[in-house]
């Protein structure tokens, strides 16, 4: 177990290092830099002033030096300064984290609550009308852009309830109920999409388990059908489902990017878009790196969970 862990950690570190190179290079492919954007409304810019700013921001140095500098800073726990706000990146990100985390957690809860039961039902009633309906519904969830679904939910509320959800962020410390409502709507939109994947994996996994011998044995000894499904099949079918939930949790961020914009929530994902539009290199670099770390950590966590969930798996002892 220990050597396995060490191996996984080493691979994760190498992957992170590779990602940092990819991210760094990608951002430097860009035509134009922050100076161009800052001065885009100014018309003529004195080349001398331009050079001064570039020197101040440190983007006149060779790329390798800039990269080394960035990694050095990350290793020292410093995330650099945002060009645009002239503030340390960490100070800008910190208040955004709880917003994204709350939204991500709520979305994954919605996704699991929707996806797992429908997946089990669909598998148990394979090829029935109910199975078809549930499958088509989940496929529809995969097909709708979650930001559009969010907009439609808002429109529906306006049309039927004559009520517009608050369009400015309400912190939970101020009004918990309003905050919950405000987050639940986007969480429904994002969670519905993720639930589709979870439902499909649950369904195929339960179907597979239901064909096993011990299920036939349980049925043969006259156990109630419900107990067969939930006590015997369900628990054994959950392993791949947990994997998908872990992966989905990391990839939820993709869905959050646009949804946070639509619901005007000040989270990390929305901020990433802003930073990209402004070519605020340190911000984008660090935000994307942050996302990469979250993804890799949650993959690692899923791996660890395996051992706990399934005693049959004991890594390379």
Partner 1 sequence: MAANHTATRALSPAIPAWRRPGWGRWVVRFSRRKPLGAAGGFVMAAIVVTALFANLLETHDPIATEAARTLAPPDPAHWLGTDHLGRDIYSRIVHGARVSLIVGVSSTLVGSVLGGVIGLLSGYVGGKIDLLIQRFLDILQGLPLLVLALVMSASLGPSIENVIVAISIPIIPRAARIVRSSVLSIREMQYIEAARALGLRHLRIAFRHVLPNTVGPFIVLCTAQLGSAILVEAALSFLGLGVPEPYPSWGRMLSVSAAEYAQKAPHLVLFPGLAISLAVFGSNLLGDALRDTLDPRLRGA
Return residues touching partner 1 (CB under 8 A).
Answer: 11, 14-15, 18-19, 22-23, 26-31, 132, 136, 139-140, 142-145, 147-148, 151-152, 154-155, 158-159, 164, 204, 207-208, 250-251, 253-255, 257-258, 261-262, 272-273, 276-277, 279, 284, 288, 291-292, 295-296
Using CA atoms, how far apart are residues 87 and 198, in angstroms rounded to an integer?
A: 40
- Residue 38 or 273 having the CB closest to partner 1: 273
**Token pair 């992966």 in the structure block, residue:** 247
Using CA atoms, how far apart are residues 316 and 150, in angstroms rounded to an integer?
A: 46
What's the min distance (Å) between Cβ of 304 and partner 1?
18
- Residue 148 or 230 having the CB closest to partner 1: 148
What's the min distance (Å) between Cβ of 26 and partner 1?
5
Burial of residue 181 (number of CB atoms within 10 Å: 0-12, 13-18, 19+):
middle
Query: CB of 60 within 8 A of CB of 51?
Result: yes
For the chain, how many helices (H) and strands (E)? 14, 0
Query: CB of 27 within 8 A of CB of 285?
Result: yes
Taking alpha carbons only, the member of 134, 242, 151 closest to residue 190 is 151
- Residue 129 or 311 having the CB closest to partner 1: 129
What's the min distance (Å) between Cβ of 190 and partner 1?
12
What's the min distance (Å) between Cβ of 292 and partner 1?
5
- Residue 113 or 155 having the CB closest to partner 1: 155
- Residue 22 or 97 having the CB closest to partner 1: 22
Q: SS in 3 state form for 162-195?
A: CCCCCCCCCCCCCCHHHHHHHHHHHHHHHHHHHH
What's the min distance (Å) between Cβ of 176 and partner 1?
27
In this structure, the number of other CB atoms found within 10 A of the CB of residue 195 comes to 29
- Residue 7 or 175 having the CB closest to partner 1: 7
What's the min distance (Å) between Cβ of 273 and partner 1?
6
């Amino acid at each position: 177990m220990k050597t396995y862990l060490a191996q996984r950690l080493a691979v994760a570190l190498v992957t992170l290092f590779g990602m940092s190179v990819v991210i760094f290079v990608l951002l430097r492919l860009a035509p134009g830099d922050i100076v161009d954007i800052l001065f885009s409304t100014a018309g003529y810019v004195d080349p001398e002033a331009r050079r001064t700013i570039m020197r101040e921001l440190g983007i006149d140095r060779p790329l390798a030096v800039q990269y080394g500098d960035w990694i050095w800073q990350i290793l020292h726990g410093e995330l650099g300064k945002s060009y645009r706000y002239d503030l340390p990146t960490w100070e800008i990100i910190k208040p955004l984290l709880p917003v994204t985390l709350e939204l991500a957690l709520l979305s994954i809860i919605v996704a699991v609550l929707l996806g797992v039961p429908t997946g089990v039902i669909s598998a148990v009633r394979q090829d029935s009308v109910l199975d078809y309906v549930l499958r088509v519904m989940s496929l529809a969830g995969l097909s709708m852009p979650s930001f559009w679904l969010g907009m439609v939910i808002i429109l529906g509320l306006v049309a039927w309830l004559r009520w517009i959800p608050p369009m400015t962020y309400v912190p939970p410390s101020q009004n918990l109920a309003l905050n919950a409502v405000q987050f639940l709507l986007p969480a429904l939109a994002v969670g519905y999409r993720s639930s589709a994947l979870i439902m499909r994996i649950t369904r195929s996994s339960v179907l597979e388990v239901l064909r096993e011998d011990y299920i036939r044995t349980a049925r043969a000894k006259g156990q109630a059908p419900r107990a067969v499904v939930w006590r015997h099949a369900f628990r054994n079918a959950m392993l791949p489902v947990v994997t998908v939930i872990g992966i989905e949790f990391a990839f939820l961020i993709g869905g959050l990017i646009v949804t946070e914009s639509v619901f005007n929530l000040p989270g990390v994902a929305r901020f990433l878009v802003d930073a990209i539009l402004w070519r605020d290199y340190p911000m984008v670099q660090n935000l994307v790196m942050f996302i990469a770390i979250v993804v890799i950590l949650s993959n690692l966590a899923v791996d660890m969970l395996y051992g706990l969930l399934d005693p049959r798996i004991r890594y390379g002892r």
